[in-house]
Amino acid sequence: MADTALQPPATPYDSGAFIINFHATPLKVRDALETLIDYLGPLNLLQEHLDTIEIVLAETLNNVTEHAYDGDGGPIYMRAIVVDGTLSVVIRDRGKPLPPSLILADDPDGFDPESLPEGGFGWHLIRNLASELTHNRLARWNELRVVFSLV
């Protein structure tokens, strides 16, 4: 297993795209992440890559649940596909528009650890760990596309 883990995944991933629709709650987010990690299992990715993917998508989906929907719930659509050693994930929600500043922020140190912040870590982690990040507002939907290099 260890030596195959260094190989880029076959292209495209034989099982096709992963698609899931779920209601925006913390427990459903947890379930969706578990299902996605299971889907990626046959690729034998490095644990480090799986950790990065799970951290970024957890932050993204929590943001939708807590801010786009203000904790009131709503539909989330997530689609993931692996092509040429790259995982592309599209997440759509019908919540409040995402402020573009969160994607474009050029201030990666928006918090000071010494002040013992209890939040504000999420976008910092997303911007640091994702290979690419794009956001579109489509009619009444937010669409966030996150790309991870797996090689």
Partner 1 sequence: MNLTARQLGPLHVVDVGEKRIDAAVAIAFKDSMRDVSDATTGDVFLNLESVDFIDSSGLGAIVAAMKQLGPDRRLHLAALTPAVEKVFRLTRMDSVFDIHPTIDAALADHGG
Q: Give the interface with partner 1 as residue ranges (CB under 8 A).
A: 26-27, 29-30, 47-48, 51-52, 54-55, 58-59, 62, 65-66, 111, 113-114, 116-122, 124-125, 128-129
- Calpha distance 93→37 (Å, rounded): 21
The smaller minimum CB distance to partner 1, of residues 17 and 62, is found at: 62
Residue 126 CB, shortest distance to partner 1, in Å, is 9
- Calpha distance 7→85 (Å, rounded): 9
Residue 120 CB, shortest distance to partner 1, in Å, is 8
Residue 47 CB, shortest distance to partner 1, in Å, is 7
**Dihedrals φ, ψ of 86, to 5°?**
-130, 135
The smaller minimum CB distance to partner 1, of residues 12 and 110, is found at: 110
3 to 44, 45, 46, 111: CA distances (angstroms)? 10, 11, 10, 39
Residue 10 CB, shortest distance to partner 1, in Å, is 26
- Calpha distance 56→110 (Å, rounded): 18
